């Protein structure tokens, strides 16, 4: 935990990727 900034940035990127994944899932569902 020597680099809280990196940890927070990693968390942010993971949440962002999760949001993108959910968005893509909804988009594909809409196409069907």
Taking residues 4-23, report their average pLDDT.
89
Q: Quick count: other Cβ atoms within 10 Å of Cβ 31? A: 6
pLDDT higher than 90, residue 4 = no
Token pair in block for residue 26: 């909804």
pLDDT higher than 70, residue 11 = yes
Please state the pTM of the whole predicted model: 0.53
pLDDT higher than 70, residue 15 = yes
pLDDT higher than 90, residue 19 = yes
Long-range CB pairs of 5-8 (<8 Å, 24+ gap) are none
19 with 26: CB under 8 angstroms? Answer: no
């Amino acid at each position: 935990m020597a680099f809280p900034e990196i940890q927070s940035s990693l968390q942010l990127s993971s949440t962002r990727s999760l949001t993108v994944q959910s968005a893509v899932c909804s988009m594909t569902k809409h196409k069907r």
